[in-house]
Amino acid sequence: MADQGFLKQKPGFATIAIHVGQDPDKWNSAAVVPPIVTSTTFKQPAPAEHTGFEYGRSGNPTRNTLEECLAALDGGKYGLTFASGLGATTSIVGLLSKGDHIISTDDVYGGTNRLFRQVVERFGIEISFLDFTKPELIDKSIRKTTKMIWIETPTNPNLKVADIAEISKKVKSHNKDIMVVVDNTFLTSYLQRPLEHGADMVVYSLTKYMNGHSDVIMGAAILNDSEIEKKLRFLQNAMGIVPSPIDCYLVNRSLKTLALRMEQHKKSSLLVAEWLLKQPKVVEIYHPGLPSHPQYDIACKQMSGHSGVFSFRHSGGLKESRKFLSSLKVFTLAESLGGYESLAELPSVMTHASVPAAQREELGITDSLLRLSVGLEDTEDLIADLDQAFAAAFQ
Ligand SMILES: *Cc1c(COP(=O)(O)O)cnc(C)c1O
């Protein structure tokens, strides 16, 4: 398969994933696989003297191992992990104060939308929502109090792609202290590294592709600025939204196959999308790997490919969507994405049900829009499954 015109993959990624932070010599046992350190407290040689660890909330050897590896994968200096993706977001927003202003992607992840509108605003922080595929709108939206730009790209479920370099440049021309944060959950550091395009911070729901096995809820932030790192490290401990050492072990282990997994997600999702293009009941496909995607040029400029998540619209309505989804046998009808198993869902009544109806309509999230997360099963089986579900839904 050709590289589809995407940014060339940076050499050395898989080596970093396997080795950075994993030096056996840092453990007394010289363990090749990092041990799971569950101890919540650490012995001190003398009062108020410690050997790097005091208490499990403020630091843990297994967590540090994972954080170091995550930072290196994004080409960042610092990595911090949190109890969930939204826990990372909560902690990052904790860097702001009453009266500050955030500009966020308009079709931002539903949970981020809920956190911003129903929690963060109550603390006196103002939030504007913007379509970042139109960067010219930024000039009018920036205020004296703007402190943070929250970009998600590609978005969900419409897979809109925002130009990270252009937005960062524009924002910094107004005020270089405004922090540009990119939620990189949909692509992972294997397919997109926002710090290399001018962003200040990358945020992850590690729950999705980074862990990739649908068995851990965790989040992360990656950044280069040492002052902000100190503040965020303080908040990680002060707010206490930290992950468990066992979960850190699992995510650290999953990173070892990240490159392989993403390559396969990329290949399989394109094959499935190309098959869907030929189906008479399919009206539109929203997939950043298809040249028909409205921001394909931007995608090629900043991404080294696309993941396994995309959406399509069919010619039926709610009845056909329900029948289609309940007929699937290899795809599982479920929320979430990014695991080895293929998932399918109906955003209008599932992941995006909490988005107000008017906004849903504006974003085109109708009952005929289905979202797929193409997993790592054999593509022939996935396509056969979709084929029989179409037959059942449109008989
Ligand atoms: C899932 C998700 C989140 C939230 O992460 P959790 O780990 O579920 O808290 C944030 N952003 C995006 C894009 C997501 O898909």
- Confidence (pTM): 0.97
Expressed in angstroms and rounded, the spacing between residue 153 Cα and the centre of ligand 1 is 13
- pLDDT per residue as tens digits for the range 74-84: 999 999 999 99
Domain membership flag for residue 5: no
Asked which of 212, 230, 255 is the last residue of a domain, the reply is: 255
Q: Which numbered atom of ligand 1 lies nearest the CA of 87?
A: 9
pLDDT of res. 2 = 52
Classify residue 145: in a domain, yes or no. yes
- On whether both 86 and 192 belong to a single domain, the answer is yes
Instruction: Give yes or no: residues 208 and 278 share one domain.
Output: no
Residue 381: CB atoms within 10 A of its CB come to: 13
249 and 267 share one domain: no
- In this predicted structure, the answer to whether residue 334 has a pLDDT above a threshold of 60 is yes
Q: How confident is the model over 176-224, as pLDDT tens digits?
A: 999 999 999 999 999 999 999 999 999 999 999 999 999 999 999 999 9
d(CA 172, CA 308): 32
Output the ligand 1 site: residues, CB below 6 A.
Answer: 84-86, 109, 111-112, 152, 156, 183, 185-186, 205, 207-208, 217, 219
pLDDT, tens digit, 9 for 90 and up, residues 72-122: 999 999 999 999 999 999 999 999 999 999 999 998 998 999 999 999 999
Is 244 inside a domain boundary? yes
39, two tokens:
């101890």
**Is the sign of the CA dihedral 260, 310, 386, 214 positive or negative?**
positive
pLDDT in tens, 376-386: 999 999 999 99
Is residue 2 in some structural domain?
A: no
| Domain membership of residue 284 as a residue range | 259-393
Residue nearest to atom 6 of ligand 1 (CA): 85
Q: How many angstroms does the Cα of residue 84 sit away from the middle of ligand 1? A: 8
pLDDT average, residue stretch 364-388: 97
> Which string of b and e fits 21-47 if b means at least 16 CB within 10 Å?
bbeeeeeeeeeeebebbeeeebeeeee
CA 280–ligand 1 middle distance (angstroms): 33
Report pLDDT for 302.
Answer: 97
Give the pLDDT confidence score for residue 263 in this predicted structure: 97
| Per-residue model confidence (pLDDT) at position 119 | 97
Which positions are annotated as active-site residues?
Answer: 57, 109, 183, 208
- DSSP type of residue 195: G
- Tell me the average pLDDT of the chain: 96
Distance 208 CA to ligand 1 centre (A): 7
pLDDT exceeds cutoff 90 at 356: no
Query: What is the percentage of the chain residues whose pLDDT exceeds 90?
Result: 93
Q: Which of 81, 202, 205, 309 to mutate to test the pocket of ligand 1 (most atoms within 8 A of CB)?
A: 205
Return the best residue to mutate from 116, 185, 307, 350 for the ligand 1 pocket (most ligand atoms within 8 A of CB): 185
Which of 206, 232, 255 is the C-terminal boundary of a domain?
255
C-alpha span between 320 and 112 (Å, rounded): 30
- The number of folded domains in the chain is 2
**pLDDT at residue 68 is higher than 90:** yes
Give residue 206 CA to ligand 1 midpoint distance, Å: 8
Q: What is the pLDDT of residue 25?
A: 97
Instruction: With H, G, I as helix, E, B as strand and everything else as coil, classify residue 340.
Output: coil
Residue 354 has pLDDT above 90, yes or no: no
Minimal-distance CA residue to ligand 1 atom 8 = 85
Q: Measuring CA to CA, which residue among 376, 67, 73 is closest to residue 252?
A: 67
How do residues 218-275 score in pLDDT, each as one tens digit? Answer: 999 999 999 999 999 999 999 999 999 999 999 999 999 999 999 999 999 999 999 9
- C-alpha 383/C-alpha 371 separation (Å) is 15
**CATH code of the domain in which 379 resides:** 3.90.1150.10
What pLDDT does residue 1 have? 47
Type of residue at 46: A
How much is the pLDDT for 363?
A: 87
pLDDT in tens, 133-177: 999 999 999 999 999 999 999 998 999 999 999 999 999 999 999
